[in-house]
């Protein structure tokens, strides 16, 4: 009679995996405490009541599509003729048309702007 011998399976041990996870946990706990905490007597600046306004060297695109620079109405060609060829900043109104913004950006690039940056507000939540 032939005897059936089961192949001896080696069970995968989870001990090495647990060790790796444990070492990673210890590493991140130590790495997170390396930076010293802020001085408890330090009072940070509160900017919630600051009045927002555009940078003085930026174009403003209003909701109706009118472009202005330092309060005076302008167009991309006139604006680029009065300044050097370089990056331009635009502060668009929240309700300004995206199509108009793309038109203005394209006109600025055609008249010599090396790049066009949009200035936006970042909301902290």
What residue segments make up the domains of the chain, in order of their start? 58-118
Nearest one of 88, 86, 96, 52 to 69, comparing CA atoms: 88
Q: How far apart are CA 31 and CA 25, in angstroms?
A: 10
| Residue 124, pLDDT above cutoff 50 | no
Q: What is the pLDDT of residue 123?
A: 44
State how beta strands 58-61 and 67-69 pair: antiparallel
**Residue 2, pLDDT above cutoff 90:** no
Mean pLDDT for the chain? Answer: 79
Q: How far is it, in rounded angstroms, from Cα 45 to Cα 118?
A: 26
CA angle 67, 73, 77 (to 5 degrees): 65
Q: Which residue spans within the chain are E strands per DSSP?
A: 58-61, 67-69, 72-74, 88-92, 116-118
What average pLDDT does the segment 65-80 reach? 85
Q: Which among 95, 90, 88 is positioned nearest to 67, based on CA atoms?
A: 90
Mean pLDDT of 67-77: 85
Q: How far apart are CA 109 and CA 6, in angstroms?
A: 76
pLDDT in tens, 22-37: 999 999 888 776 666 6
Global confidence as pTM: 0.53
């Amino acid at each position: 009679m032939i005897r059936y011998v089961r192949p001896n399976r080696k069970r995968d041990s989870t001990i090495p995996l647990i060790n790796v996870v444990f070492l990673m946990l210890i590493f991140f706990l130590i790495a997170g405490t390396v930076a010293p905490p802020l001085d408890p007597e330090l009072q940070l600046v509160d900017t919630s009541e600051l009045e927002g306004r555009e940078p003085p060297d930026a174009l403003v695109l209003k909701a109706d599509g009118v472009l202005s620079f330092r309060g005076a109405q302008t167009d991309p060609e006139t604006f680029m003729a009065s300044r050097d060829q370089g990056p331009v900043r635009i502060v668009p109104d929240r309700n300004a048309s995206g199509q108009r913004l793309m038109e203005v950006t394209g006109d600025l690039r055609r008249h010599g702007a090396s790049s066009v940056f949009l200035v936006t507000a970042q909301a902290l939540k």
